[in-house]
A and B are shown apart, each in its own frame.
Chain A
Amino acid sequence: MARKVTGRHVVISTAGAWIAGFVIFFPILWMVLASFKTELEAFATPPSFLFFHWTTENYVTVQERSDYLHHALNSLIVAGGSTLIAMLIAIPAAWSMAFSPTKRTKDILLWMLSTKMMPPVGVLVPIYLIYKNLGLLDTRTGLVFILCLGNLPIVIWMLFTYFKEIPKDILEAARMDGATIGRELIYVLTPMAIPGLASTLLLNLILAWNEAFWTLNLSTLEAAPLTTFIASYSSPEGLFWARLSAASTLAIAPILIIGWFSQKQLVRGLTFGAVK
C-alpha cells in the first residue's frame, strides 16, 4: 500500500526542510551580514541581526589592502585550468575502463581512490621540496598541476560511473550502423553523457576553487588564489571579523553564483548512482 501523504504531513515536512536549510545556510548569511558591519558591531554581544549601521567600508578596505581581482583571476586560472586538464585526462581514462575493462581495472580504480585516503600533509614536505627545486613554488602552473592531480581520482571515478551506465549495446548498435569511433563519440556517446560530464566538471571546479591546503602552502602572493586572500585576513593583524567576512564573501561569490545556476546538474552529480 502506498503511504498516505496528508496535508499535515506536507506542512510538517516543508517546515522541517526550511528549518534544516536555514540552519545550514545560517553561517554564510551571518558572514555576509558581518561583512556589512563595522568591526565593533561585528563581535558585539548580543549580536545585532539586521538592525545595525550598514556599511560597505570593509569592501573598500579589502580592495585597497589587497588586490581582489588579482586573486580572483588566479583562482579562475588555477581552478579552471586544473579542472580542464583533469577532464582531458579523465575522459579517455574512464572511457577505456568503462568500455574495455581488463581484470586489473577494478584494482586500478581502487588504488587511485586510495590516494585520496592519505592526508595531504603526509606528503607536504617532499612535495614542497620538489616544488622548490623545480621552481614551481608560488606559480600558477604549480598549483594547476597539484590540484589537477589531487582531484583526478574523483573525476575519473565520477566519469567512470557515468560511462558505466551507458549500455554497451547502444555503442555496438552505433558501430553496426556504421559510426566510426569519432562519430560514435559525437552523435551517440556525448549527447548521452552530457549531464554526467557537466556535473563532474562543476563539482571539480568547486573542489578546486575551495581547495585550501595546497594553495596556502605552495603559494604566497604571485599565484595566490582567493583562499590565500582570505587567510591573509586571519592572523597577522589580529582578527578583523568584518574585513575577514567581506573578503570571504568576495571569495565565495563567484562559485556561489555558478552553483546557484547549475543546481540541477550538481544535485544529479552528487546523488548519482544512489537511485536507478
Chain B
Amino acid sequence: MGRITLEGVQKSFGPVHIIKGADLDIPDGAFVVFVGPSGCGKTTLLRLIAGLEDVSGGRILIDGNNVVDVPPAKRGLSMVFQSYALYPHMSVRGNIAFGLKMAGLPKAEINRKVEAAAATLNLTPYLDRKPRELSGGQRQRVAIGRAIVREPKAFLFDEPLSNLDAALRVQMRLEVTRLQKQLGTTAIYVTHDQVEAMTMADKIVVLNAGRIEQYGSPIELYQRPANLFVAGFIGSPKMNLITGAEADKHNATTIGVRPEHIGIVEAGNEGWSGKVVIAEHLGSDTFLYVDAGALGTLTVRVVGEKRLNAGDAVMLRPEPSRIYRFDANGNSMFA
C-alpha cells in the first residue's frame, strides 16, 4: 500500500516561504507528476515527502500515519536522484544491495532480490562493474534498481531523466512508466518538462511559486485548465492568450486558444487576419507564428503539408467551442 496525503504542508527557509500550504491526496498505485517552472517548489515538496527536509507546518500521511517526525529510512519510500547518487566505491551489486544490507536481510535473500532487480533492468552483465564504468543510461537504471529492490510503498523520482540525451530520455520514459505499471507501486515524479508530465502521469500536480495550481489527469488539465498559469504551462506549443477588445467580445478579461484549435480559412471569411512571421516545418506539423495586429503574435499549428512561408497573408479562425475564458484574477470561467 502506498497512499500519500498532504494536509496543509508548509516549508520556509528563514523568511522565504517555499511551500505555501499544499493539500494533496495521492491514491495507492498512482503515477503522479509534480510539474512547474524552476523554483516553484516541486523538488522541495518531494524532499519533504521523502523526509530529507523537515516541514514547517502541516501533516504528511503515508497510509494514514503522520510521518513528519519519522526519519527518511523509516518512511518506506525510495528515491531516485537527478544525479543518480550512486556509491562510487561500490559495484552495481553493492549499490543495489546497500538498502537491503542496511535492513539486515540474510545474504541469500539479498542476492536473490538483487539478481531479480538486475534482470528486470537488463543490468545482469554489469553487476560487478563500478558506476564509473557505466554509461549514463545504465547508471540511471542502477539508481532505479536500488529503488525497486527495497519494495517501497512509493518511489520518489527527482528529475531522473534530465541528465540523459533526448533519444535516451524518451526510451527511459517508456521504461519507467512500464516498470511502474508492472510493479503497481505509487510513484511521485518531479519534472519541469511538461511533455514528460503529460506522457507519464496518471495525475499531474501543477505547481507555481509554492502553490498547487491544479491537480488532475493530463487530459483534464489540457481541457479544463483552472487558471491562466495552468493554461499557459500545459500544452505545447503554448496556448495563445489574448486580452483587450477581442476578449471583451467573450465577456472575459483574457481569452485563450490553443495553437491546434486555430484553423486557416479562405480570405473573405470571418476571422483574424494576419501575416506569417516565421513558419517552422517539422514534417508532421507546421508551426506558424502569425502577426495578427492588435491581437499580438499568435501561434498556429497546422498539418505538415500546409505550404505557407514567412510573409504570406492568412485568415485565422479559432474553433468557437475551444475558446477558454479567464476573469480578471486569471481564473477560468467555464460555461
A contact set with B: CB distance below 8 Å = 167, 169-170, 172-179, 183, 187-188, 191-192
Mark contacts of B298-314 with chain A using CB atoms, 8 A cut-off: 1 yes-contact digit, 0 otherwise.
Answer: 00000000000000000
- Known A169-B83, A169-B85, A192-B89; judge A176-B50 contact (CB<8 A): yes
Q: Contact flags (1/0) for B209-252 with A, using CB distance below 8 Å?
A: 00000000000000000000000000000000000000000000
Task: Say whether, besides A169-B81, A172-B81, A173-B81, A179 and B87 are in contact (CB < 8 Å).
Answer: no
Can you list 28 contacts pairing A with B, beta carbon distance less than 8 Å?
A167-B85, A169-B81, A169-B83, A169-B85, A170-B85, A172-B52, A172-B79, A173-B85, A173-B86, A173-B87, A175-B71, A175-B73, A176-B72, A176-B73, A176-B77, A176-B78, A177-B73, A177-B78, A177-B98, A177-B99, A177-B102, A177-B146, A177-B150, A178-B99, A178-B103, A183-B102, A188-B87, A192-B89
Which chain A residues lie closer than 8 Å to B85 at the CB level? 167, 169-170, 172-173
Q: Which residues of chain A are near B72, meaning CB under 8 Å?
A: 172, 175-176
For chain A, what secondary structure do more than half of its interface residues adopt (helix, strand, loop), or is it mixed?
helix
- The docked-state distance in angstroms from the alpha carbon of A169 to that of B150 is 18
Q: Across the interface, which residues of A come within 8 angstroms of B88, CB to CB? A: 170, 192
Q: Would A178 and B83 count as touching, CB distance under 8 A?
A: no
A188 CB contacts on chain B under 8 angstroms: 87
Q: Which 6 A-B pairs have the closest CB atoms?
A: A178-B73, A169-B85, A177-B99, A178-B102, A173-B85, A191-B89
B-side contacts of A191, CB under 8 Å: 89
Task: State in angstroms the CA–CA spacing of A148 and B83 once bound together.
Answer: 38
Give the complex CA separation of A120 and B47 in angstroms.
48
Residues on B with beta carbons closer than 8 Å to the beta carbon of A183: 102
**Chain A min CB distance to B50 (Å):** 7
- Per the bound structure, the CA–CA distance linking A175 and B74 in Å amounts to 10
B73 touches A179 (CB 8 A): yes
Q: How many A-B residue pairs have CB under 8 A?
A: 57
Q: Chain B: which residue is nearest A187 at the CB level?
A: B98
Residue among B74, B77, B86, B99 with max Cβ neighbours from chain A (10 Å): B99
- Given A176-B50, A177-B98, list of 18 further CB < 8 A pairs? A167-B83, A169-B82, A170-B87, A172-B79, A173-B85, A173-B87, A175-B71, A176-B52, A176-B73, A176-B78, A176-B99, A177-B99, A177-B146, A178-B99, A178-B102, A187-B98, A188-B87, A192-B89
**Residues of chain A with a CB closer than 8 A to B102's CB:** 177-179, 183
From A166, which residue of chain B is reached at the shortest CB distance? B88
A55 to B75, alpha carbons, bound, how many Å?
75
CB-CB < 8 A to A172: which residues of B? 52, 72, 79, 81, 85
Least CB distance from A190 to B in Å reads 10
Binding site for A on B (CB under 8 A): 50, 52, 71-74, 77-79, 81-83, 85-89, 98-99, 102-103, 146, 150
Closest chain-A Cβ to B243's Cβ sits at a distance in Å of 43
In angstroms, Cα B100 to Cα A177, docked, is: 8
Q: How far is the CB of A192 from chain B (nearest CB, A)?
A: 6
Q: In the complex, what distance in Å separates the CA atom of A187 from the CA atom of B94?
A: 11
Q: Nearest Cβ distance between residue A165 and chain B, in whole angstroms?
A: 11
Report chain B residues within 8 Å CB of A175: 52, 71-73
Pair A173/B79 contact, Cβ less than 8 Å: yes
Smallest CB separation, B15 vs chain A (Å) = 13
Q: Which residues of A contact B78 (CB under 8 A)?
A: 176-177
Question: B71 contacts which chain A residues (CB < 8 A)?
Answer: 175
- CB nearest to A175 among chain B residues: B72
Closest Cβ of chain B to A196, distance in Å, is 13
Contacts of B81 in A (CB 8 A): 169, 172-173
Q: Name the A residues within 8 Å of B82 (CB-CB).
A: 169
Across-interface contacts of B83 in A (CB, < 8 A):
167, 169
A179 to B101, CA, bound (A): 9
Question: In the complex, how many angstroms separate the beta carbon of B258 from the nearest chain A beta carbon?
Answer: 38
- What is the minimal beta-carbon distance from B188 to any residue of chain A, in angstroms? 13
Q: Which residues of A contact B150 (CB under 8 A)?
A: 177
Q: Which residue of chain A has the shortest Cβ distance to B102 in the bound complex?
A: A178
Which residues of A are found within 8 Å of B146, using beta-carbon distances?
A: 173, 177
Q: Who on chain B is nearest to A169 by CB? A: B85
Tell me the bound Cα distance from A188 to B98 in angstroms: 10
B52: A residues at CB distance < 8 A: 172, 175-176
Q: In this complex, what residue of B is CB-closest to A192? A: B89
- A187–B78 CA distance with the chains assembled, in angstroms: 19
Q: In the complex, A179→B89 CA distance in Å?
A: 16
Q: Closest CB of chain B to A7's CB: distance in Å?
A: 33
Q: Shortest Cβ distance from B47 into chain A, in angstroms?
A: 9
B309 CB → nearest A CB, Å: 41
- A71 CA to B98 CA in the complex, in Å? 49
B144 to chain A, nearest CB (A): 13
Chain A residues within an 8 Å CB radius of B103: 178
List the B residue with the shortest CB-CB distance to A171: B85
Q: Tell me, in angstroms, the Cα distance from A175 to B73 when the chains sit together.
A: 6
How far is the CB of B69 from the nearest CB of chain A, in Å?
Answer: 15
Chain B residues lying within 8 Å of A170, measured Cβ to Cβ, are 85-88
A181 to chain B, nearest CB (A): 10
Residue in A closest to B14 when the chains form the complex, CB atoms: A103
Nearest B residue to A188, CB-CB: B87
A195 CB, min distance to chain B CBs, angstroms? 11
CB contacts (< 8 Å) of B86 on chain A: these are 170, 173
When chains A and B are docked, how far (Å) is the Cα of A174 from the Cα of B77? 13
Would you give the shortest CB distance from A175 to chain B, in whole angstroms? 5
Q: CB-nearest residue of chain B relative to A177?
A: B99
Q: What is the CB-to-nearest-CB distance from B134 to chain A, in angstroms, rounded to a whole number?
A: 16
Chain A residue at minimal CB-CB distance from B98: A177
